[in-house]
Chains A and B, each alone.
Chain A
C-alpha cells in the first residue's frame, strides 16, 4: 500500500509538471460546456436536469481518456525509466495500480471541476440531485473503464500515438457502438437477438446510461469494477511478457 501510494503520488504530480494537466482540464471543461449548451440544448429543453451534460460524456471520453492513459506505460518504455521502476522493490501489481489510480484520480479532478454546471441547474430549477450524483458516479466509473483499457494498450507499445489510436478505436467498437441505438438496430437485422443483447451488455453505454438515470444497480457497478480489474490484469500480463522490448 505504501508503494502504491508513492507511485500514485509521483504519477499524479507528473500530470501537473507539464502543461498537460492545464490543457486537458481546460479542453474538458470547454467541450462539456459546448456539448451541453449547443448540442444538448440545455436551455431549450426547459428541464432542470443534467441529462444533456452527461449524455455526451461517453463520446467525449472516447478521445479524452486515451489522451490521459497513452503516456502511462509508453512513456516509461520510451524513456527507459521502466527499467528503473521494475528494479525498485515494487511488485508489478503495485506499479500498475498506482499509475492507473493516478490517471483515474486526475480524470476525477477534471470531472469535479464541472461543478458549476450542477450549481447552474440548481439555480435555474429544482433538479433531482440524487440522479445527478448517480450520473457523476457513473461517469467516473466509465472514465475508469476507458483508462484501464488505455493502460493496457499503453503497456503494449512505446509509442504514445499508437497507444492513443488503439485505445480510441477499441473503445469505440467494443464499448460504445455495441450499446449505441442505431448500431444495435442494424445488427439486430441479421444477428440473433441473444447475441445483440450480449454485445450490448458489454457496452459502456448500456451501463452508463442506466447509472446516469440515477438507478445505481449493483450489476452496473460490478460491470465497471470487473472491467477495470480485467484490463489492469491484462496490463500486468503485457508488461511481464514484454518488459524489455
Chain B
C-alpha cells in the first residue's frame, strides 16, 4: 500500500508538486502521465525517499518514508530516470553489490540473481562493464537492480525510454507478469504504454492531479475514444486554468 497525503514540493518560488493525495493498493499498476516538468519524477523521488517533501506525508507498506526511511526503502524497488548505474562495474559485480545491500544470502540470493538475469536476458553481458552496454541493456540492468529483492512495491521512472519496440514489448510483458500481487507505479509519456500495462492512470500537470481513472474510462471521455486526445485536452486546459 502506498498512501500519499497532501504532498507538496517547492523549489524556491516554483511549486513542482502541489498538494497531491492518492493511494495505491496491491494489484494496481498505476501509470503516471503528464507533460515534461509536470512533477512526475519529483513525486517518484519523494516516494522513494530521495527528496524530502516540503510538506505532506508518504507511507509505503505502512512505513513512513520520513521517519522510517530504511524500512520503507527496503520494501521498494526503484528505477530512477535514466537508469543510473556504476559505469565502471561489470553487470555481475553491480548486481552482487545490490544483493549485498538488499541482504540477500545463500540460496535466496542465487535464485533471485538467476531469476532477474533470466527474466531480463542479461546472461550474455554479465562480464561486460556497464558503460560499454547499449541503452537497452543499461535500462534492463536498472530494472534487474530494482527487481532483485522481489519488492512488493516497484517505482519505475520511464522504464521503456530508449528501448526498441521489441524490448518495450518485453518490459511490458514483464510488468504484466508481476502485476498480480504488487504495487507498480510507472511514469511515462508514451500513452500506448498506459493502455498496455496499467489498470489505473493519473494525469498530472503543473504539480496537480487532473484525472485519476482507469485508462478505458479516461479514453471514453473524448469523443474519439482515444487516450491521446483526452491527455491533450486535460493537460492543455489545466495549463490555461493555471495561467
| Binary contact readout B78-95 vs A (1 if CB under 8 angstroms, 0 otherwise) | 101010111111000100
* Minimum C-beta distance from B96 to chain A (A): 9
Stretch of B43-51, B179-187, B203-211 contacting A (4+ beta carbons < 8 Å): B43-51
Chain B residues with Cβ under 8 A from A90's Cβ?
70, 101
Min C-beta distance of B170 to chain A, whole Å: 22
Residue contact A84 to B49, C-beta cutoff 8 Å: no
Q: Contacts A10-B86, A244-B51: A84 and B145 contacting too (C-beta < 8 A)?
A: yes
Q: Which of A75-83, A107-115, A144-152, A201-209 contacts B (4 or more CB under 8 A)?
A: A75-83
For the complex formed, measure the closest distance between the CB of B126 and the CB atoms of chain A, giving whole angstroms: 15
Which residues of A are found within 8 Å of B145, using beta-carbon distances? Answer: 84
Contact across chains for B100 and A87 when beta carbons are under 8 A apart: no
Q: How many Å from the CB of A11 to the closest CB on chain B?
A: 10
Given contacts A10-B97, A13-B93, A84-B145, contact A2 B85 (CB under 8 A): no
CB distance from B103 to the nearest CB of A (A): 7
- For window 55-88 of A, CB contacts with B under 8 Å fall at 79-81, 83-84, 86-88
Known contacts A83-B50, A87-B48, A89-B73; A3/B101 CB under 8 A: yes
Asked if B102 lies at the interface with its beta carbon under 8 angstroms from chain A, I say yes
State which size class the interface on A falls in: 20 to 34
> With A83-B84, A244-B45 in contact, do A14 and B100 touch (Cβ < 8 Å)?
no
Contact: A86 with B88, CB < 8 Å?
A: no
> Does B133 sit at the interface, judged by CB under 8 A?
no
Whether A244 contacts B86 in the complex (CB less than 8 A), given A2-B103, A6-B97, A91-B70, comes out as no
Contacts of B234 in A (CB 8 A): none
Which B35-73 residues have C-beta < 8 A from chain A? Answer: 45, 48-51, 70-71, 73
From residue A122, how far is it (CB to closest CB) to chain B in Å? Answer: 39
Q: Are A14 and B88 in contact (CB under 8 A)?
A: yes
Q: Which residue of A lies closest to B42 (CB)?
A: A244
Q: Are A87 and B78 in contact (CB under 8 A)?
A: yes
Which of chain A's residues has its CB closest to B11's CB?
A: A244
Whether A84 and B84, one on each chain, are in contact in the complex, defined by CB atoms closer than 8 angstroms, is yes
Q: Does A191 contact B (CB under 8 A)?
A: no
Contacts of A14 in B (CB 8 A): 86, 88-89
Write the chain B residue with the least CB distance to A81: B84
Interface centre among B49, B70, B80, B86 (most CB of A within 10 A): B86
Instruction: A90 to B48: give the CA distance in the assembly, Å.
Output: 13
B98 within 8 A of A: yes
A79: which B residues are within 8 A, CB to CB?
Answer: 84, 86-87
Give bound CA distance, A3 to B101, whole Å. 6
Q: Is B74 an interface residue (CB 8 A)?
A: yes
The verdict on A194 contacting chain B, using a C-beta distance below 8 Å, is: no
Assembly CA distance A91 to B49 (angstroms): 11
Residues of A143-162 contacting chain B, CB below 8 A: none
Known: A84-B145, A91-B70, A244-B51. A10 touches B78 (CB 8 A): no
Q: A10-B86, A80-B84, A81-B86 are in contact. Are A87 and B73 (CB under 8 A)?
A: yes
Report which of B51, B100, B129 forms a contact with A243, defined as CB distance below 8 A.
B51
Most buried by B among A6, A18, A83: A83
In the complex, what distance in Å separates the CA atom of A9 from the CA atom of B100?
A: 10
For chain B, residues 4 to 59, give those with C-beta under 8 angstroms from any C-beta of chain A.
Answer: 45, 48-51
Q: Does B76 contact A (CB under 8 A)?
A: yes
Cα-based distance from A243 to B49 in the complex (angstroms): 11
CB distance from B46 to the nearest CB of A (A): 10
Interface residues of A (CB under 8 A from B): 2-3, 5-7, 9-10, 13-14, 17-18, 79-81, 83-84, 86-91, 243-244
* 29 CB < 8 A contacts A-B: A2-B103, A3-B101, A6-B101, A7-B101, A10-B93, A13-B93, A14-B88, A17-B129, A18-B88, A79-B87, A80-B82, A80-B84, A83-B45, A83-B80, A83-B84, A84-B84, A84-B145, A86-B49, A86-B50, A87-B73, A87-B76, A88-B101, A89-B70, A89-B73, A89-B101, A91-B70, A243-B50, A244-B50, A244-B51
Which 7 pairs, one residue from A and one from B, show the smallest C-beta to C-beta distance? A80-B84, A6-B100, A17-B88, A89-B73, A89-B74, A87-B48, A83-B80
